[in-house]
């Protein structure tokens, strides 16, 4: 790949790395007969959906537009959808293009499940097992106190009293409690789920473990994951679904950026880039986290340390402090790694920043530009 020919900033999706991840997930599916779905909220580069469809059971959506996307570009695969609350006016199209629909509350289940079942969809309810396994990222904890996501066992059983036929509207139960976690946390969640909902499982067809499983990360305990899957299969005769997002495109994409200017301050040196944390990698500020940067070290680890910052007016548009073997100069191109996930789906045009183009690094080493954005894309979002 000729780096100097890239039009920065740009996301580059590594097709070979994506296929490696998909192969790991396919092995889990083949050895357990579980269904694994792409969670589009993490990765929606639909130009690669045909490859994903070769390996996975389908995709899951968080709303109508994502459901449309998977229906259009993975038409032969399963199409699932969940929302904290569905709009009535969107329901006819959702029911036309989806296979599974998961509701967030008993009220939504009772309101929409009868017509969904008439249309042939399988219907489920997201539950909250009230078992938090998060550390340090409360914003991503669906089991936090006061969470709006999922139905607790107390709410579930109150619903049974109000709607005695409620179980007849359920094909399965869904929980999603993890974020970038290993299968030991899944096992803890499953223990709590089974303790609270065990008596209702024999009447179900499936259970959905949701997302947040870092299955393709080096060191992830895949054997434990398989034991969790088989536990539901052998114990209750349930089909098992998983909905990872990050695991599909983990370490399968890069963000290339150019150094626009180097500033020498009394306390530190600053490199202003043509990419923005706020616009092009918003999780850097939201989580927050420090994205990996090729050939760099921690601040002070190598001879030359710089604060890497974006070109917007936001004073906090800072990516982080990194060190290098040699001084940075204007025109240098840097590569941030693990930029396929939660970047393209979250980026924005604050300050009129151009969206990075999207390139595909093919398995033969060639690069093709898949999407290039300009002024009209900025204008159309306003």
Condensed to tens digits (0 to 9), the pLDDT of residues 275-333 reads 999 999 999 998 888 999 999 999 999 999 999 999 999 999 999 999 999 999 999 99
Query: What is the signed CA dihedral for 189, 194, 200, 206, rounded to 10 degrees?
Result: 60
pLDDT of residue 138: 76
Taking only the tens place, the pLDDT of each residue in 62-116 is 999 999 999 999 999 999 999 999 999 999 999 999 999 999 999 999 999 999 9
Residues 6+ apart with CB under 8 A from 63: 81, 83
Q: How far apart are CA 67 and CA 83, in angstroms?
A: 11
Q: Nearest-CA neighbor of 228 among 292, 185, 287, 174?
A: 185
Residues 6+ apart with CB under 8 A from 259: 271, 272, 273, 328, 329, 330, 331, 332, 333, 334
pLDDT of residue 33: 98
User: pLDDT of the chain along its 382 residues, tens only?
Assistant: 677 789 999 999 999 999 999 999 999 999 999 999 999 999 999 999 999 999 999 999 999 999 999 999 999 999 999 999 999 999 999 999 999 999 999 999 999 999 999 999 999 999 999 999 987 677 889 999 899 999 999 999 999 999 999 999 999 999 999 999 999 999 999 999 999 999 999 999 999 999 999 999 999 999 999 999 999 999 999 999 999 999 999 999 999 999 999 999 988 999 999 999 999 999 999 888 899 999 999 999 999 999 999 999 999 999 999 999 999 999 999 999 999 999 999 999 999 999 999 999 999 999 999 999 999 999 999 9
pLDDT of residue 135: 76
Q: Nearest-CA neighbor of 297 among 320, 274, 276?
A: 320
Residues 6+ apart with CB under 8 A from 118: none
Residues 6+ apart with CB under 8 A from 125: 102, 103, 104, 106, 109, 151, 156, 170, 173, 174
Name the percent of the chain in helix, strand, coil, to the closest 5. 35, 25, 40
**In whole numbers, what is the pLDDT of the chain averaged over residues?**
96
State the DSSP H helix or E strand holding residue 236, giving kind and residue range, or none if neither: helix 222-236
Taking only the tens place, the pLDDT of each residue in 98-110 is 999 999 999 999 9
Q: Specify whether the CB–CB gap between 314 and 282 falls below 8 A.
A: no
Adjacent-strand bridge partners of 82: 102
pLDDT of residue 136: 64
Q: How far apart are CA 225 and CA 242, in angstroms?
A: 11
Residues 6+ apart with CB under 8 A from 89: none
Tokens of 353: 């920043």
Q: Nearest-CA neighbor of 320 among 307, 339, 334?
A: 307
Tokens of 259: 């150094």
Tokens of 193: 């789920």
pLDDT of residue 287: 85
């Amino acid at each position: 790949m000729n780096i100097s020919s890239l039009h920065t900033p740009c996301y580059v999706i590594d097709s070979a790395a994506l296929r490696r991840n998909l192969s790991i997930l396919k092995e889990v599916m083949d050895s357990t007969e579980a269904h694994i779905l792409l969670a589009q909220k993490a990765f929606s580069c639909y130009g690669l959906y045909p490859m994903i469809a070769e390996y996975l059971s389908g995709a899951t959506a968080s709303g109508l537009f994502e459901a449309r996307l998977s229906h259009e570009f993975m038409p032969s695969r399963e199409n699932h959808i969940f929302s904290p609350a569905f709009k009535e006016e969107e329901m006819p199209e959702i029911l036309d293009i989806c296979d599974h629909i998961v509701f967030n509350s008993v009220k939504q289940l009772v309101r929409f499940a009868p017509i969904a079942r008439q249309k042939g969809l399988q219907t489920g309810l997201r539950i909250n097992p009230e078992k938090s396994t998060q550390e340090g990222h409360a914003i991503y904890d669906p089991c936090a106190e006061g969470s709006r996501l999922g139905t607790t066992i107390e709410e579930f059983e109150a619903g049974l009293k109000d709607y005695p036929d409620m179980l007849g509207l359920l094909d399965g139960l869904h929980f999603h409690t993890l974020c970038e976690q290993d299968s030991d946390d899944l096992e803890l969640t499953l223990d709590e789920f089974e303790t609270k909902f065990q008596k209702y499982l024999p009447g179900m067809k499936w259970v959905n473990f949701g997302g947040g499983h870092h299955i393709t990360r080096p060191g992830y305990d895949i054997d434990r994951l398989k034991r969790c899957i088989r536990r539901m299969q052998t114990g209750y005769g349930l089909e098992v679904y998983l909905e990872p997002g990050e695991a599909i495109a983990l370490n399968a994409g890069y963000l290339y950026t150019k150094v626009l200017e180097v500033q020498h301050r009394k306390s530190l040196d600053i490199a202003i880039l043509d990419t923005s944390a706020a616009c092009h990698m918003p999780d850097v500020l939201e989580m927050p986290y420090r994205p990996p940067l090729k050939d760099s070290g921690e601040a002070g680890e190598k001879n030359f340390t710089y604060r890497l910052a974006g070109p917007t007016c936001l004073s906090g548009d800072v990516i982080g402090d990194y060190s290098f073997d040699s001084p940075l100069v204007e025109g240098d191109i840097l590569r941030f790694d693990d930029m396929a996930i939660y970047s393209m789906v979250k980026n924005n045009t604050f300050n009129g920043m151009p969206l990075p183009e999207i390139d595909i690094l093919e398995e033969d080493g060639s690069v093709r530009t898949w999407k290039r954005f300009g002024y009209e894309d900025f204008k159309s979002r306003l």
